[in-house]
Amino acid sequence: MKVLITGGAGFIGSHLGEKLLELGHEVFVIDNLWTGKLANVSKIQNARGFHLVVDTILNESVMNELVFKVDHVYHLAAAVGVRNIMDHPVETLDINVKGTETVLRLANRFKKKVFVASTSEVYGNHMEHTLSEDDNRVMGSVKKRRWAYACSKTLDEFLALAYFDEKKLPVVVGRLFNTVGPRQTGRYGMVLPNFVQSSLLGKEITVFGDGNQTRSFTHVFDVVGALIKLMQDPAAEGEVFNIGNDHEVSINELAQKVKEMTGSPSEIGHISYEKAYGPGFEDMQRRCPNVEKIRKLIGFEPEYDLEAMIQSVIDYFKE
């Protein structure tokens, strides 16, 4: 099978490309290298059946040719990372909305199956319970720039499901919850690589806010396996799935665990969100997925627990 991965030189996309090649597929990647890196695909760039195009998904003529020649499209390209969203709101909306519309329109032209990567951010400020796919969203003010990303990905989901309902395009939507692992960079505000890098360098481990906010982390290998299985199952078409781990940890606990596992002398400090990101930011206190739907369909069970996830990131940065 021939597969296109948009954003395929990124953190998740590069791991997905490696796995698909391992399974015998021919892999085409397009990435503008804004947050992706050539180093991420260095292990496979010369592999038989791997093709890399350095360009933007907004280049319709290039995308038209790529979508035409493949069987499946994994649409992972997006503006990602809290720092990016806060610093580049126009680019965030442009890439996430126009880019997804381009992918879906071209996929519909040639009737190619599409996976659309969404995010747990679409749930917004839910606090009461684990998050299920049919829950209402709780969004903050449009004056709070943080919500631009969540709203752009929400529109992506609406577009994808509209193409499924109206055009009968085979589409699968996956909401990813804090994917972590080798190759993830802390450059754009990703919490675990930032903590690990600081710990290994003996610098302060900086927690934003009071640190009592909780998150649920999932290893990239578990995520990649889920994406492939969802695309293989016709029953997933036209559906939205949480892809995550239902084990919660506070950011304070995460910082302490990283400090212990690295044997670091680093102190753990706290700064306000406003100092970290400037005005226009607010955070959600809890984000934990209900994974019954994906578990029931494809038997999804994360293999990596929190310690294994942290250790894989430590090993990566030590290398």
Task: List, for residues 34-89, the tens digit of each pLDDT value.
Answer: 889 999 999 999 999 999 999 999 999 999 999 999 999 999 998 776 666 677 77
DSSP string, 202-238: T--EEEETTS--EE--EEHHHHHHHHHHHHH-GGGTT
Give me the active site residues, please. Answer: 149
Distance CA 310, CA 205 (A): 15
DSSP string, 135-159: PPPB---TTSTTHHHHHHHHHHHHH
The CA distances from residue 129 to 115, 146, 290, 294, in Å, are: 27, 22, 9, 18
Distance CA 1, CA 134 (A): 33
In this structure, whether the domain defined by 2-179+218-246+288-303 belongs to CATH 3.40.50.720 is answered with yes
DSSP string, 28-83: EEEE-SSS--GGGGTTTTTSTTEEEEES-TT-HHHHHHHHHH-SEEEE-----SHH
**Contacts (Cβ under 8 Å, ≥6 apart) of 296:** none
Domain boundaries, the chain: 2-179+218-246+288-303
What per-residue confidence (pLDDT) applies to 201?
Answer: 96
What per-residue confidence (pLDDT) applies to 188?
Answer: 59
Residue 25: both structure tokens together: 């597929």
Rounded to 5 degrees, φ, ψ at 227 are -60, -45
What per-residue confidence (pLDDT) applies to 82?
Answer: 65
pTM: 0.94
Intervals of the chain under pLDDT 50: none
What per-residue confidence (pLDDT) applies to 280?
Answer: 62
What per-residue confidence (pLDDT) applies to 141?
Answer: 77
